[in-house]
Structure 1
Amino acid sequence: MRFGRTSASVFGLVGLAALAPAPVFAQQVGEAASDSSVIIVTAQRRSEAQVDVPITITSLSSEALATANVAQLSDIGKMTPALRFDFSGGFFQPTIRGIGTAVITSGGGGNVGIYVDGFYSPNPLAADFDLISVEGIQVLKGPQGTLFGRNTTGGAILVSTREPSTAGNSFEGRARYGRYNEAAVEGLANYVISDRVALGIEGQYRRGDGWLHDISNNDKRVGDYENWSVRLSMKAELTDSVEVLLRYKHGQVDDPSSTLAATFENDEFGLGAPFGGIPGTFTTAKNKIASGSVPEFFRSNTDVLQGTIKADLGFADLTSYSQYRNEKVNSSLDLDYSGADIFQLGLPNNNETWSQEILLTSKPGTRLQWTAGLFYFQNKDQYITFIDNAGSGPGERIRFGGSSTTVKSYAAFLDATYEIVPDRLFVTAGARYARDKVDDAYFNTRFLAPFLDLNGNGIFDMGTEPEAPGGRVYISEFQPEAAEFAKDDRITPRFVIRYKPTDRTSIYASYTKGYKAAIIDVGGSCQNAPFECAQVKPETINAYEVGFKYESAGLSLEGAGFYYDYKDLQISLFEAGTASIVNAAKSEIYGLEGQLRYNFSPAFQFSAGASWVHARYKEFNNAPIYTRCSDFGQDFFNANCAPNGVTFLVIGQDLENVTMQRTPEFTGFVGARYTTEIGGGELALSGNLSYSSSFFFGPSGIQFRQGGYETLSLRAQWTAPDDRWYIAAYGDNVTDSRYRTAVQYSNFGIGTNWSKPVTFGGEVGVKF
C-alpha cells in the first residue's frame, strides 16, 4: 500500500477524533492528563485564554516550532491545518481554507494579513522571513476584517517575538550545519542599562549551496543563497504606567530558490516547454533546470523602524504602534522556464509603508470586555520592468515599463463582548469602518515612449508630465473615473454568541465579514489597447462558523465547522502576451477542522490537527485555461502564437462547480515530543508528520495537478544538566518526498518548482 494512502487514513482518524464531543474524549484521557498552563492568545487584540476566544486558532509555541524544525515563516504550514504557502517567482502568497490570491500587480496585496509584534507587514516580496527570538505564532482562520482590517479575508498570522528585559543580562546563541553546506548562526543578547531600561541585540546569518543543477551550463550547481539580518531594540519604563519599545531591523536576502523552475509536464497537460520543446533547451527533472543567457536571481534589502508605546490609563490600556518600512527588491525571472532565451523579465520593486494604530483595551474582570482602535496605513509599491535578455551584453537590461500604486487606508473599529449570564452566556458584536483610497497610481509606457498611439488614431498625450521620466502616465489625469472608483468605504461587522457549559468548555456560533481592497490595474490592462484600466472591485466574503473548545490540565481540544460565501474574486488573466486583473469568479467554501494537544505525562506531549475543506468556484466566467498552440492547426498557430515566441495562450471558458486553486481538500499533521534523563541532562526526541491531499495549481482550479504527499521532520536534542548548552541532530523531509512546491505559468511557457530533497544536520546552542 502506498504511504500517501496510509497517511490519509491515519489523518482521517485523527480528524474524527479531534472533532469528537469534548466531554467524551476528556473522560477517556482525563485521568492521565498532567498539569499544564492555560494557552493565552491575542486573537481579539487583548490577552485571553484560547478556550474563551470564538475563532479557530492554531497556536504554536517556541517549543512546538523547534519540534518541527521551523526556521522560516513558510515552515509553519507543516503544523497548521488548511494553511498553504505558495511562491510565484519571489512573491509570497499564503492561503487559508481556500482564501488566497495568485494576483501579482501593483496595489494587489494578499488575502492573509501578516503581523509581527502587532505591526502589519504588507509586502508579498518580503513576507517570508527567518524566525529569530520567536515566542509564539498564532494563525487565525477565517475573515478578520473587524479587528485586523482590509486584506485579511482568509485570516491573519500573528508573530510575537521577545522584548528586552530588565531582569538581567543574558545571551543565547545557536549554530547549525547541514546537507548542501547549509550553515546558520543566530544570537540574541539582552543588556540591562538600569532598572527601567534594557537593550536587545539579535542577528542571524544563513547560507547554503544550491541543490539544483543547470543543464544549460555544464550541469553547474545553482541556487546558492546568503541571508542575514540584525535587529536592535530598546525598552524603557518611563513611569510605572508607561513604557516605550523602539526597534530597528535591517535584513538582506540573496536567494534565487523561488525563481529556479524546471519545465512542467504531466499526463493531462503534456509538456510546458516553449515551441513544444527543442531538445537540450528544457528539462523536467526534479533536481535540474535549464537557464538562458542571464541567471535568475532574487535579492531584497529591508529596513524597518518601529515604536510601541504602552500606557495604563486606569480605565483601559492604551497601545500605540508606529511603523516605517522600506523594502527594495531586485529580481530576474525566466518566463519561458527553459534555456531557449525567449523572455526574461527584470522586476525591481520598491515598497514603502507608513502605519499608525492606536488601540484601547478594557481592563479584565468586568462583564463588558472591549477593544477599540484607530488605524492609518499608507503603502507605495513601485514596479520597474526590464527585458533582461535583449541587451548587447551580459547583464544589460532594456527598460520595458513599470507601474506604481500608493494606497491609503483610514479605519476605526470597536469590538465588545458582554457577559449576559455570569460565566455562561456571552455575546460579541463589533464593526470596523474603513476608507480605502488609491492615490498617485501611474504606469510607464512600454519602452518608455512619452506618448501612446490609441488604436492607430494618431498620437495622443494622456496626461504625461513632460518632465516625468519614462512616459509616466497618471491615472487621475488619464482615466479620472478609474481613480474615483478606487475610493471605497467599507463596514465589516462581526457577531458571536458563545455558551460555556463548564468553566473549561466553550461552544460558539459566529458571523464575520471581510474584504480584499479594490485594484486599479496599472500593471496590466491600463497599458494594453484599448488602454482602459480595469476597475477591479473588492473581493467580499461572508463567513459563518460554529465550534467548540475544551481545555483542561494537559488537554487542549477544539473543532469547528464553517461556511463561506465568497464573491468577486480578483483573477489574473494572460492574453495575447499581456496580463490583466479582473473580477471573474464567485465561490462557496465549507468544511470541518479540529486540533488537539495532550500531555500523556510530563515527559510525553502529543499534538494533532486535521482539516477538510470543500472549496468550489460556483461560477467562473472566462476562466483562464492554458492551452498549447501546437494543439491547434498551423493557420491558428501562425496567427496567434508565433509573435515574440509565444507558444502558449489562455482561452476563456465559463466554468461551474470546479475545485479552487491551491486548495487541498484534506490537510493534517501529527506531532510528538518525548523527554527522558540521560547523563544528568535531558534528551528530547520529537517529530512532526504532515500530509496534504491533491490539489491544482492552475488559476482555473482544473489544471496543473499535484498529488497527495507527506513530509516528516525529526529532531533529537540533549540539554546539559545546567541548561546552559545543548547539542541536536535534525532531519527535514526525511521520507524524501518529491512534490511540486509551485507551478509558474505565462504565455511563454509553464514551469515548476520541486521540493527540496531530504536534509539533515547538527546544531549546538548556548545560553548564559
Structure 2
Amino acid sequence: MKKPPRIVLSNISLSIITVQLPLVGLLISSPLSHAESVGHNVIEEVTVTAQRHTERSVDVPISVTAIGSEDLNKGGMQQLGDIMEMTPGLRFDQTGGFSQPTIRGVGTAVVVAGSGSNVGIYTDGFYSPNQLMADSDLLNVDSVQVLKGPQGTLFGRNSTGGAILVTTREPESDPQASLDVSYESFNTQRYALYASGGPSDNLAFDLATMLRKSDGYIENINTGSDKDGAYENWSVRTGVKMQFNDRVSALFRFIHEDVDDSNADAYNLYSKDGNVYSTAAFVAAAVPSEPPIASAPYKTSSDFKPRFLADSDVFQLTVKVDLDSALLTSYTQYRDESATHNYDFDASSSALAMSHYIFDTVDEVFTQELLLTSQSDSRLQWTTGLFYFSDETRFENNRGASALTGGAFVDNGGSGVENSSIALYGDLTYALLEDQLFLTLGARYSKDSVDNAYFLDDANNLAKVSVPSIDDSEVTPRAVLRYKASENSSAYVSYSEGFKSGILNVGRATLTGINVAPEKLKAYELGYKYSAGPLAIDLATFHYDYQDLQVAGYDGFTSVIENAADSSINGVEAQIRYLATESLEISMGLTYLDAEYDKFDRAQNWVQDTTATGLFQAQYVDASGNEMLRSPELTGNLNVKYDIPVAEGWLAIWGNLYYSSDFYFDTYETYEQNAYQLLNMRVSWTDASDTYTLSLYGDNLTDEEYYTQVLPQFFGVLTTWGAPRTFGAGVELRF
C-alpha cells in the first residue's frame, strides 16, 4: 500500500539540535548562577554501565534511559515490560508469552526456534536470549538501563535495536530485610520478601522472593468464567558473595521462576467498522446456533481456559580480579528453561471452526565471558573481552485439534536448532585534548553457527529431518567523537553497527536449504548531554540504515522466514529532568520517529475467503513506503515526584503519564492501534524512622482500552488487551 511520503527527519533533526545546542550552552556558561536562582537544589547524578564500566551518564556518548529502584517501586513496575511506560522510544509487546521489545522502530515479529530478539537483555551482565522468559519479574532490582541504538561492539549479537541492562542488589553482610505486600483490583495480590546478611565482611548471603497472583480481568462470554486471564507467578533469587582478599571476589546466584499465566494466551478477535475478523464469525453468520464471538475488550469466547506455563532455573557465577591497572571479570552462566502453551487459535467455542493448539519449548543456554577493563588514569582507556554462547532450543510435542480432525489432537511436528557464537571485541577511548576531546574506536568480531537443526514433518512425525547448518561471521564497529565542553556537559557524534544473527527455516522439507541471512543496521547519531544544579538534559538525533530485515510469512500453511525488507529510520529524542524545589522533581521524555520500509515487495496481507471456508490466507503485496510495524511516530512520558513532611513522616506523591501515537501491528497497515495514553498515580507515606511505608495507587486511571498484540493467522485475527483501570493498596516493612 503506497502512501504519500512522511516527513523526512534527517534534516529537521539536525535543525532542532542546531537550535537547541546554543540554548543549552547558555546554561553551561553559568551553571552556578542558574542553580542559585532556584536555591541550592542539585539533581541526583545518574551513573550507568552502558560502556561495560560505571561512569556518569553525562560522559557516555550513548542515549540511555536509566530508571532507579525508587521509580521502579513507586511506578509499580512489576515486570520488565512495564518499563515501556517510562521509556520513550520503547515498546514491549508479546505474542503468546514471547516478548518482542522494539527500540526506535527496531524489533521483530519472528517466533521460530533459535530466532531471538533484536534487543539484548542482560541481567547483572548475563545475556538472556529466551523470548519466553524476557518479561521477567523485577525482583530485587536496583536499576534498569535502556541503551538505544545498536550495541554491536560491546554487547554483540541480537542487540540491533539496543540493549536492556537490569542490575540487582548484591548481598551485604549487615543484616537487613524487607517485606512488601499489596492488594488491588481483580483479587490481585503481591508478596515480596528480601533479606541479606552475613557472618563477616568477607561473606554475605541474600534471598529475594516474590509471589504474584490474580483472577485476571478476562471474562469468557460462553462459559461465564471470569478467570480466563488468571495467573500465579513465583520467583526467587538467592546469592552468595565471597571476598577472598582485597583483589578477588566472587558472586554466585541462583534464580528460579515459575509462571502459570492464562492472560498471555487469552485471545479474542479483532474487529473494525463492525466487522469481526474471524472464521468462527463467518460460520456463525451461516449457522445461527453457533455460540457468540468475543471481540470487545477483556472478553473471550474460547471453549476452554488457555494456559501458559513456564519454568526457569538459572545459575550464574561472577568472579572479579583486581589487577591494579585493569579489572578482570568472568561471567559464567547456565540456563534451563521450558514452557508449554495451550491456546485457542480460533478464539471461539465454535465446533465448526475449532482450532486448538498445544506445544512445548525447551531452551538450554551456556554463556562464558571474560571482560578486561582498564582502571588507570591515563589518556587511553580501554575495554576488551571474549564471549562464548551456546543455545539449544527445541519446539516439541506440537499438537493440534480442529474441526477437520473431528476434535482429536494430532501431531503437528516440531523443530530444534543449536546456536553457538564466539566473539572477540575491543573498545578504546583516547583523550585527544586532555579532559575535552575524546575519540572512541571499537570493533567486535563474531562467528555464529546454527547446527544440528531438524524438523518433524506432519506425515513422518517419528523421524527427524535434518536441515543443513549455516555459519556467519560479522564485524561490528563503532566510532565516537565526544567533546566535553565542561565538567557538566558533553556533545558527541557516533557511528555504530549491529546485527541480528542468521536463522534457519525449520518448517518443512520444501524449505530445506533456504537460510535467512543476518539483519544489519548502521546508525548515525548526534547527541548532547548536560547535568548541573537542578537540571539534566539529554538530546539526540539519529539516522538508521536497516538492511535485510528478517520477516515472518506463510507459504500456504507453512511458516516461512526470509530477508525481505530494507528500511530507513530517522528520529529526534529528548529527556529532561528538573528539580524545581527540594521537594518537586519533574522529568519528561519524548521520541519522534519516522520509520518506514524503503523496499518491501514481499509483505503479506491476510485476506479472508468470504465465499467458502471463511479461512484467512496470506497474500504477497508491496509494502514499500509503509510505516514499520510497532513504530509509533511519537512516544513520551511525563513524570512528577513530590515529597513533603506530613505527620512526623514523609508523604510522597508520584505520577506518570505515558503517551503513544497511533501505529500498526502489521506491515500492510491494516491492524491499527489508535493513539492512547496511560496515567498512573501513587501516594505513599513513610514514617520518620523509615521503618514502614503505606501506599495507595491507581493504574490506567483514564481506563484506556488498547491492544498489546494483534496477530493475524488462518482462523482469524487474534488480539490481546492491556489491563483496564485498577486500584490498589500496599504496605512495606523494613527491618
Q: Give the TM-score normalised by structure 2.
A: 0.93
Q: Distance in 1 between matches of 2:685 and 2:406?
A: 51
1:39-93 superposed Cα distances (whole Å, 9 cap, x missing partner) = 1110000111101110000011111212322111011000100100111111110
Q: Does the aligned pair in 2 maintain the 1:58–1:140 contact within 8 Å?
A: yes
Which structure 2 residues correspond to residues 122-137 of structure 1 after superposition, within 5 A?
122-137=129-144
- Aligned partner of 1:119: which letter? F
Give the Å deviation of 1:277.
5.1
Distance 1:390 1:269, change over 3 A: closer
Q: Distance in 1 between matches of 2:406 and 2:190?
A: 32
Distance 1:421 1:608, change over 3 A: same
Q: Does the aligned pair in 2 maintain the 1:274–1:647 contact within 8 Å?
A: no
Distance 1:437 1:766, change over 3 A: same
1:591 maps onto 2:601 in alignment:
no
- Of residues 299, 310, 319, the one that matches 1:300 is 310
- Of residues 291, 315, 335, the one that matches 1:280 is 291
- Of residues 468, 476, 481, the one that matches 1:492 is 476
Give the Å deviation of 1:230.
1.3
Q: Distance in 2 between matches of 1:25 and 1:397?
A: 68
1:507-548 superposed Cα distances (whole Å, 9 cap, x missing partner) = 1000001110001111x3xx15x3434211110011000010
Alignment-derived partner of residue 352 in structure 1 = 364
Alignment-derived partner of residue 4 in structure 2 = none
1:539-560 superposed Cα distances (whole Å, 9 cap, x missing partner) = 0011000010001123211100
Which SS does the other structure have where 1:206 is aligned?
A: strand
1:480-502 superposed Cα distances (whole Å, 9 cap, x missing partner) = xxx2xx20111000000011122
Distance 1:165 1:391, change over 3 A: farther
Give the Å deviation of 1:172.
1.1
Give the Å deviation of 1:389.
3.3
Distance 1:501 1:349, change over 3 A: same
- Aligned partner of 2:115: which letter? G
Q: Distance in 1 between matches of 2:434 and 2:709?
A: 51
- Aligned partner of 2:384: which letter? A
Alignment-derived partner of residue 418 in structure 1 = 430
- Aligned partner of 1:766: which letter? L
1:8-48 superposed Cα distances (whole Å, 9 cap, x missing partner) = xxxx9xx9999663234677964326124421110000111
Distance 1:189 1:339, change over 3 A: same
Q: Does the aligned pair in 1 maintain the 2:228–2:305 contact within 8 Å?
A: no
Which structure 2 residues correspond to residues 354-753 of structure 1 after superposition, within 5 A?
354-389=366-401, 397-449=409-461, 470-476=462-468, 483=469, 486-522=470-506, 524=507, 527=508, 530-630=510-610, 634=611, 637=612, 642=613, 647-698=615-666, 700-753=667-720
Q: Does the aligned pair in 2 maintain the 1:18–1:609 contact within 8 Å?
A: no
Distance 1:113 1:701, change over 3 A: farther
Q: Does the aligned pair in 1 maintain the 2:325–2:376 contact within 8 Å?
A: no
Distance 1:647 1:555, change over 3 A: same
Q: Distance in 2 between matches of 1:395 and 1:336?
A: 13
Which SS does the other structure have where 1:673 is aligned?
A: strand
1:278-306 superposed Cα distances (whole Å, 9 cap, x missing partner) = 153411111210103x4311010110000
Q: Does the aligned pair in 1 maintain the 2:215–2:226 contact within 8 Å?
A: no
Q: Does the aligned pair in 1 maintain the 2:262–2:305 contact within 8 Å?
A: no
Q: Distance in 2 between matches of 1:487 and 1:172?
A: 49
Give the Å deviation of 1:269.
7.3
- Aligned partner of 1:708: which letter? A
Which structure 2 residues correspond to residues 76-475 of structure 1 after superposition, within 5 A?
76-166=83-173, 168-267=174-273, 271-274=277-280, 276=282, 278=284, 280-292=291-303, 294-341=304-351, 342-389=354-401, 397-449=409-461, 470-475=462-467
Distance 1:618 1:277, change over 3 A: farther
Q: Distance in 2 between matches of 1:766 and 1:394?
A: 56
Distance 1:763 1:220, change over 3 A: closer
Q: Does the aligned pair in 2 maintain the 1:386–1:397 contact within 8 Å?
A: no
The runs of 5 or more residues in structure 2 that have no matched partner are 1-12, 285-289
Give the Å deviation of 1:399.
2.6
Distance 1:29 1:207, change over 3 A: farther
Give the Å deviation of 1:255.
0.5
Give the Å deviation of 1:266.
1.3
Give the Å deviation of 1:471.
1.1
Give the Å deviation of 1:110.
0.6
Which SS does the other structure have where 1:81 is aligned?
A: coil
- Aligned partner of 2:708: which letter? T
What is the root-mean-square deviation of aligned Cα atoms in Å? 2.2
- Aligned partner of 2:199: which letter? I
Give the Å deviation of 1:666.
0.2
Distance 1:740 1:212, change over 3 A: same
Q: Does the aligned pair in 1 maintain the 2:43–2:536 contact within 8 Å?
A: no
Q: Does the aligned pair in 2 maintain the 1:662–1:701 contact within 8 Å?
A: no
Q: Distance in 2 between matches of 1:393 and 1:585?
A: 37
The runs of 5 or more residues in structure 1 that have no matched partner are 1-11, 450-469, 477-482
Q: Does the aligned pair in 1 maintain the 2:657–2:679 contact within 8 Å?
A: yes
Give the Å deviation of 1:249.
1.2
Give the Å deviation of 1:503.
1.6
Give the Å deviation of 1:475.
1.7
**Is 410-419 or 128-137 further displaced after alignment?**
128-137
Q: Does the aligned pair in 2 maintain the 1:210–1:221 contact within 8 Å?
A: yes
Distance 1:269 1:85, change over 3 A: farther
Distance 1:703 1:735, change over 3 A: same
Q: Distance in 1 between matches of 2:564 and 2:405?
A: 42
Give the Å deviation of 1:396.
7.7
Give the Å deviation of 1:270.
5.5
Q: Distance in 2 between matches of 1:667 and 1:25?
A: 27
Give the Å deviation of 1:366.
1.9
Alignment-derived partner of residue 10 in structure 2 = none
Q: Distance in 2 between matches of 1:418 and 1:268?
A: 62
Give the Å deviation of 1:740.
1.1
1:677-715 superposed Cα distances (whole Å, 9 cap, x missing partner) = 1111000001000000000001x1412011000001100
Q: Distance in 2 between matches of 1:605 and 1:277?
A: 56
Give the Å deviation of 1:756.
1.2
Which SS does the other structure have where 1:153 is aligned?
A: coil
Alignment-derived partner of residue 454 in structure 1 = none
Alignment-derived partner of residue 24 in structure 2 = 22
Q: Does the aligned pair in 2 maintain the 1:174–1:763 contact within 8 Å?
A: yes
How many residues were matched structurally?
Answer: 708
Give the Å deviation of 1:208.
0.5
Q: Distance in 2 between matches of 1:360 and 1:269?
A: 59
Q: Does the aligned pair in 2 maintain the 1:492–1:514 contact within 8 Å?
A: yes
Q: Does the aligned pair in 2 maintain the 1:115–1:121 contact within 8 Å?
A: yes
Q: Does the aligned pair in 2 maintain the 1:18–1:557 contact within 8 Å?
A: no
Q: Give the TM-score normalised by structure 1.
A: 0.89
